[in-house]
Structure 1
Amino acid sequence: MAATITNTVIDLSHHNTKPDFAKAAADGLQGVIHKATQGQSGVDPTYAPRRPKAEAAGLLWGAYHFGTGSDGVKQAEHFLKTVGPDHASMLLVLDLEGNPTGPSMTLEEARAFVTHVRAVTGRWPGLYSGHYVKELLHAQKDPVLGQCWFWLAQYGPTPVVPPAWAKWTFWQYTDGAIGPGPHEVPGIGACDRDKFNGDAAKLTTFWKAGGV
């Protein structure tokens, strides 16, 4: 029997304008992972006002940090401060990809980030990446980053997981333009869409446990 895959998650940032969370939830959307921070000081201005609106619509809420080439612990502190203490039932994620506007986060900085999040929250965050982490690790496993559940970014028909992880938990299969469909969500429009490696009930359980 083929594994159940659920396509009811999206990830957003300030680039996605005027989302209608109620309409998206009515169409079956379950969760939103939203950009919260970048680097040591950047904050997505839409993160804080959108969270209560999404939760009021019954959606699960998560936050991600876009890593840059600087101190990983300081970035983690900034991320956790912005997200706030009410994060036990949220997914927390490090976005590890090439930085188009400056230095990119290194493996050492990424390890420092996730280790600090683990020390403060008691759980490993998710790690979002695609070809960038494959280039950094090659075919090697990573004893630190491998503790994080993996969110694959790959816009193609077949997910290819780096050796550091046994499987993908989420798979961002499209950015709303590139990759297989569907690309759009009612109330949101074309956006990053993400599949979950499990059924809808398992997604809810995993999410409410903070990704544990």
Structure 2
Amino acid sequence: MLNAVIDLSHHNTISSFAAIKGAGVLGVIHKATQGTGYTDPAFAGNSTQIQVAGLLLGAYHFGEGGDAAAQASHFLSVAGKTPLLVLDFEANTQGQTMSVAEAEQFVQQVYSATGRYPGLYSGASFLKQALAGAGITSPAQTVLSKCWLWVAEYAASPQIPPLWQDWTLWQYTDGVNGDEPRTVGGVTGGCDRDQFNGSAAQLAALWQGPAS
């Protein structure tokens, strides 16, 4: 495993992306959008600084229940040419939660536009329940199985939800829960940190090439 990825949003206070790189981080996945109209106010500025620092840049969209096609279009318009894209598919505590069918439509539209499936971020328990509720028991039943898996699990090891043989990224801490280290130089306080299931060369390949 390689502890070299963090994920950020406007909620994080950044003092130096150079310090983040100096702490051994290789890639940053930043929140870009949510729903059909929200854009993270820090995405544009931080994206530039991430790349200037020589870090790999990824973008994620927080999915909401509703028009998945409009959400995908909004995400793609904001993310632009960001090479690594992710759908954050989890319970929405402030509104309607995205359904499995909506998640499928979202990732299919991203694939149609970019030629590669996005990563799928989710908690193991949430994803397992969502798939079961939709009657999905095998990879052939859903396009979500074509997405590489980014699982959130603040425990000694991550669960692997049905349909995937292994995880690609594991968010092992949210900066408060989970194992150490929970901080990284250049970010004030705790932050989301992620293990990568591979080497630095494999991480670069994930970022730049088809990951399905």
Task: Name the TM-score, length of structure 1 as normaliser.
Answer: 0.93
Unaligned runs of 5+ in 2: none
Task: Note if contact 2:117-2:210 (Cα within 8 Å) is conserved in structure 1.
Answer: no
Gaps of 5+ in 1: none
Alpha carbons 1:117, 1:124 under 8 Å: kept: yes
CA pair 115-169 structure 1, distance change in 2 beyond 3 A: same
Instruction: Find out whether 1:132 has 2:126 as its counterpart.
Output: yes
Match of 1:141 in 2: 138
CA distance in 2, matches of 1:140, 1:8: 33
CA-CA distance at 1:128 after TM superposition:
0.2
**Could you say what secondary structure the match of 2:150 adopts?**
strand
Distance 2:3 2:101 in 1: 33
Q: Which amino acid aligns with 2:131?
A: L
2:147 and 2:211 in contact (8 A); partners too? no
Deviations 1:2-25 (A, max 9, x none): xxx000000000110134110110
What is residue 31 of structure 1 aligned with on the other side? 27
Q: Which of the numbers 3, 8, 11 marks the counterpart of 1:7?
A: 3
Deviations 1:131-157 (A, max 9, x none): 221111137234310010000011100
Counterpart of 1:107 in structure 2 is 100
Partner of 2:203: 203
Matched residues in 2 for 1:128 and 1:19: separation?
Answer: 26
Q: 2:6, 2:28 within 8 Å by CA — same for their partners in 1? A: yes
Match of 1:179 in 2: 178
- Deviation at 1:168? 0.4
Counterpart of 2:42 in structure 1 is 46
Is residue 95 of structure 1 aligned with residue 88 of structure 2?
Answer: yes
Q: Secondary structure at the match of 2:110?
A: helix
**Structure-2 separation of matches of 1:82 and 1:207:** 18
Query: Matched residue pairs, number?
Result: 205
Q: CA deviation at 1:210?
A: 5.7
CA-atom RMSD in angstroms: 1.3
Q: TM-score, normalised by structure 2?
A: 0.93
Which sits farther off after the overlay, 31-40 or 10-19?
10-19
Q: Deviations over 1:137-180 (max 9, x none)?
A: 13723431001000001110011111111110000000001011
